[in-house]
Structure 1
Amino acid sequence: MIDPHVHLRDWGQAEKETLQHGMQVALQCGIDELFDMPNTSPPLTTEEAVLTRLEDAWRCNVGVRYHLWAGVTSDPRQVESIAKLATSLFPSVIGLKLFAGHSTGHMGLVEEQTQRSVYQTLASAGYEGMVALHCEKESLLRPSLEDGRDFSSHSMARPVEAETASVRDQIRLSGEVGFKGHLHICHLSSVEALGIVEEAKRLGRRISCAVTPHHALLSSKDACDHDLYAKMNPPLRSETERSSLFAALLAGRFDWVETDHAPHTLQDKELGASGIPGFSGLLLLVKQLIEQGASAKLLARLLGERVLQVAGLPEREICIPSYDQLSALSLAAAGAYPYDSFAKFRLR
Structure 2
Amino acid sequence: MKTLLKNGVVYQAGKMLPNDLLIADGVIKALGTDLSELVTSETNVIELNGRLVAPGLVDVHVHYREPGFTHKETIKTGSKAAAHGGYTTVCAMPNLDPVPDTPERVKKQVELNKTDGVIKIKQYGAITKGLKSDELLDYAGMKAAGAFAFSNDGCGVQTAGTMYQAMLAAKKLGVPLVAHVEDNSLLFGGVMHAGQKAKELGLPGILGVSESSQIARDLLLAKETGVHYHVCHVSTKESVELIRLAKAHGINVTCEVSPHHLLLDEDDIPANDGFYKMNPPLRTKGDHAALIAGLLDGTIDMIATDHAPHSIDEKTGDMRTSAFGITGSETAFALLYTHLVKEQKLLSLGKLIDLMSKAPAEKFGFDAGQIYAGAKADLAIFELETEYELKEADYLSRGINTPFTGQRVFGQTYLTLVDGRPVYQKEGEK
TM-score by shorter chain over 0.5: yes
- 1:296 aligned to which of 341, 349, 365: 349
Q: Which has the higher strand share?
A: 2
Gaps of 5+ in 1: none
Residue 84 of structure 2 corresponds to residue 55 of structure 1: no
Deviations along 1:146-175, one digit per CA (max 9) or x if unpaired, are: 79xxx9579963211111111111111233
Alignment partner, residue 117 of structure 1: 165
Q: Which has the higher helix share?
A: 1
Deviation for aligned residue 1:253: 3.6
- 1:208 aligned to which of 245, 254, 268: 254
- 2:295 aligned to which of 249, 269, 279: 249
The 5 A counterparts of 1:18-97 are 18-62=74-118, 64-73=119-128, 78-79=136-137, 81-86=138-143, 88-89=144-145, 92-97=146-151
CA distance in 2, matches of 1:128, 1:335: 33
C-alpha spacing 1:228/1:221, structure 2 compared with 1 (3 Å): farther
Stretch deviating more after TM superposition (320-329 or 270-279): 320-329
CA distance in 2, matches of 1:77, 1:142: 25
Alignment partner, residue 22 of structure 2: none
C-alpha spacing 1:10/1:167, structure 2 compared with 1 (3 Å): same
CA distance in 1, matches of 2:87, 2:222: 32
C-alpha spacing 1:2/1:145, structure 2 compared with 1 (3 Å): closer
With a CA cutoff of 8 Å and minimum separation of 6, indicate the structure with the bigger relative contact order. 2
C-alpha spacing 1:155/1:183, structure 2 compared with 1 (3 Å): farther
Gaps of 5+ in 2: 1-56, 372-378, 410-430
Deviations along 1:203-246, one digit per CA (max 9) or x if unpaired, are: 11111011001111122233343446211111111233224323
CA distance in 2, matches of 1:227, 1:128: 42
CA RMSD across the alignment: 3.0
C-alpha spacing 1:113/1:220, structure 2 compared with 1 (3 Å): same
- 1:174 aligned to which of 222, 225, 239: 222
Alignment partner, residue 285 of structure 1: 336
| Count of residues in correspondence between the two structures | 330
Q: Which has the larger radius of gyration?
A: 2
Alignment partner, residue 223 of structure 1: 269
Q: TM-score, normalised by structure 1?
A: 0.84
SS at 1:4's partner residue? strand
Deviations along 1:273-331, one digit per CA (max 9) or x if unpaired, are: 11111124413123222223322331232011111111112253364624236745776
Q: Which amino acid aligns with 2:127?
A: V
Q: 8 Å contact 1:228–1:343 — kept in the other structure? A: no
Q: 8 Å contact 1:277–1:337 — kept in the other structure? A: yes
- 1:324 aligned to which of 382, 385, 409: 385
Q: TM-score, normalised by structure 2?
A: 0.69
